[in-house]
Amino acid sequence: MSEVKISAEPRTEFGKGGARRTRRAGLVPAVLYGHGEKPKHIALPALEFAAAIRHGGANQLLSIEISDGTSALALPKAIQRDPVRDTFEHVDLLLVRRGEKVTVEVPVQLTGEPARDTLVMHEHDTLAVLADATRLPESLQVSIDGLEAGSQVTAGQVKLPSGVELTVDGDMVVAVITAAPTAEQLATEEELAAGEEAEAAEAAEAAEGEEPTGSEPTPAEANAES
C-alpha cells in the first residue's frame, strides 16, 4: 500500500469545545503518539483525510507534513465517526518508522461462488497480521469457489503476501459453507414463528383480563369491617 501525503497543523485547543471549533473549521482533531514520544495534538484537513481513508482503508499509511516544520509517518489506530452525519470526529495516529513491523487488522475478501444450494457464513471479515508498516496489504483474498456444504475456510488457508505473518490461530474459522434451507424447512420455520406469536398474543390478552387480587386486609381494617 502506497503512503498518502497529507498536511496538518498543530492543535492548541482541547476539550469538547475546542474539538467542535476544529471540526467547524473543516478539520479533524487528531493525536500522534508512539515510540515513547510525548503525544502531539494536530488537526487534519477533513476532506483530505476522508479521501485518504477511501483510498486505502483504515490501514492507510499517512506521511504527515505539519505546519510547524515537523513531519511524521503514521497509521490510523482508532477512528471515531459521527454515526448520523458519517463525519470524522477524532483520530488516533500511531507513529511508525520505515522497516518497522506492526500488527494490523486486514479485511478478508471471499472470491468465487460455492456449490449450488449453499449459503456462506463469513465468520471473520478481518485477520490480524504482522507486516512492514510501509507494505501493508489492503486486503487478503481467499477462494470459496465450488466449496460444498460442510466445508470451511480457516485463517491458515488464507494466502499471505511475502513478508506478512499471521498473528491469530491458523485454525480460526474465517468462513463456513452450509446447505441452503429447503422450501419445506422455511415453511416449517414460518409456522413455528406464527405459532409463537399467537401464543404470545393469547398470553397478553389473558394477562389483561385478569382481575387484580389486591392485598390482604390488615387486622385494623378487618376489625373496622366487622
- H helices present in the chain, as ranges: 15-24, 46-56, 183-209, 219-225
162 and 137 share one domain: yes
What's 144's domain CATH number? Answer: 2.170.120.20
For residue 54, what is the domain's CATH number? 2.40.240.10
Domain final residue, candidates 64, 96, 128: 96
Residue 123 and residue 57 share a domain? no
User: What is the grid cell recorded at 38?
Assistant: 510525548
**Is residue 112 a part of any domain in this protein?**
yes
**Residue, of 23 and 215, whose pLDDT is higher:** 23
The radius of gyration computed from the CA coordinates of the chain, to the nearest angstrom, equals 29
User: Of 96, 111, 144, which residue is a domain's last?
Assistant: 96
Of the candidates 149, 138, 199, 197, the one whose C-alpha atom is nearest the C-alpha of residue 175 is 149
Domain co-membership, 15 together with 73: yes
Same domain, residue pair 129 and 155: yes
Domain assignment present for residue 58? The answer is yes
Q: Are residues 28 and 79 in the same domain?
A: yes
pTM over 0.85, yes/no: no
Q: What is the pLDDT of residues 20-69, one digit of tens each?
A: 999 999 999 999 999 999 999 999 999 999 999 988 888 999 999 999 99
Q: Is 147 inside a domain boundary?
A: yes
Mean pLDDT confidence for 67-72 = 95
| 3-class DSSP state of 36 | coil
Q: How many independent structural domains does the chain possess?
A: 2
Looking at residue 226, what is its pLDDT? 46
- Do residue 90 and residue 122 come from a single domain? no
Neighbours of 108 (CB within 10 A): 20
- Clarify whether residues 88 and 129 are in a common domain: no
Please enumerate in sequence order all residues whose Cβ is within 8 A of that of 120, keeping only pairs 6 or more positions apart, or say none: 110, 114, 144, 175, 176, 177
Domain that holds residue 50: 4-96
Whether residue 158 lies inside any domain: the answer is yes
Rounded-to-integer distance, Cα 154 and Cα 144, Å? 11
- What is the C-alpha to C-alpha distance for residues 154 and 47, in angstroms, rounded to an integer? 38
CA–CA distances in Å: residue 134 to residues 100, 117, 145, 204: 8, 42, 32, 61
Are 118 and 60 in a shared domain? no
Is 9 part of any domain? Answer: yes
Tens digit of each residue's pLDDT (9 = 90 or more) over 153-180: 999 999 999 999 999 999 999 999 999 8
Asked whether residue 198 is assigned to any structural domain, the reply reads no
